[in-house]
């Protein structure tokens, strides 16, 4: 009896994971509606200066990835990209990049903290490099990026040493 309930449940869960990263979508053919049907509702939608639209699918906290589905003006998929990478952090320029630039590149943050005495807003993204990492970006009150760095996630390190 348990197997009859368990096996369909496992199959349903595996089917739900099939569109997790959008790899079955076809650039130039898939529409934004098809993207959201496969990957689920987007958490954020941003219109870029180029006229493209980015649909954001963060898979946090457990996934430690955030996918941006770039949609052209014709409502067709251009690409699905995992954006929480060290290479993307290196594209940010302290003193030049603004909050909107970071949001366009990395997507919605996992956590936002305000440090009033430091006059900083800090966005944190959970990411996956060789091991669990954090991407931390700090903005001053004028919404300009002041610092961006990638560190090993201390919670992950502490959890591993406790095991």
The first and second tokens of residue 99, run together, are: 């909050």
Chain segment 65-77, per-residue pLDDT in tens: 999 999 999 999 9
Q: How far, CA to CA in Å, does 43 sit from each of 35, 60, 66, 90?
A: 13, 11, 10, 24
Distance CA 90, CA 149 (A): 9
Kindly report the average pLDDT of the chain as a whole number.
Answer: 86
Which helix (H) or strand (E) element contains residue 137? Answer: strand 132-140
Q: Domain residue spans in the chain?
A: 19-82, 86-162
The first and second tokens of residue 33, run together, are: 């509606």
Note the pLDDT of residue 4.
52
pLDDT for 18 beyond 50: no
pLDDT for 118 beyond 70: yes
Chain segment 41-100, per-residue pLDDT in tens: 999 999 999 999 999 999 877 678 999 999 999 999 999 999 999 999 999 999 999 999
Chain segment 133-148, per-residue pLDDT in tens: 999 999 999 999 999 9
pLDDT for 7 beyond 90: no
Distance CA 37, CA 129 (A): 29
Distance CA 126, CA 85 (A): 10
- Please tell me the pTM assigned to this model: 0.80
Q: How far, CA to CA in Å, does 122 sit from each of 36, 46, 82, 128, 134?
A: 29, 21, 22, 19, 12
Residue 139 CB partners (closer than 8 Å, separation 6+): 99, 102, 120, 121, 122, 123, 145, 146
- Which is more confident, 12 or 77? 77
Note the pLDDT of residue 52.
96
The first and second tokens of residue 96, run together, are: 């030049």
Task: State the CATH class of domain 86-162.
Answer: alpha beta
């Amino acid at each position: 009896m348990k197997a009859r309930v368990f096996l369909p449940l496992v199959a349903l869960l595996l089917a739900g994971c099939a569109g997790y990263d959008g790899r079955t979508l076809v650039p130039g053919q898939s529409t934004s509606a098809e993207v959201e049907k496969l990957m689920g509702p987007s958490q954020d939608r941003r219109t870029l200066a180029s006229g493209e639209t980015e649909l954001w699918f963060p898979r946090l906290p457990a996934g430690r990835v955030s996918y941006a589905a770039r949609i052209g003006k014709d409502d067709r998929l251009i690409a699905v990209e995992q954006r929480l990478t060290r290479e993307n952090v290196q594209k940010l320029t302290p003193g030049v990049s603004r909050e909107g630039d970071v949001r366009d590149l990395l997507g919605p943050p996992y956590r936002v903290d305000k440090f009033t005495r430091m006059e900083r807003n800090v966005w944190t993204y959970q990411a996956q490099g060789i091991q669990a990492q954090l991407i931390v970006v700090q903005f001053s009150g004028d919404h300009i990026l002041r610092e961006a760095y990638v560190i090993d996630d201390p919670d992950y390190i502490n959890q591993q040493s406790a095991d």
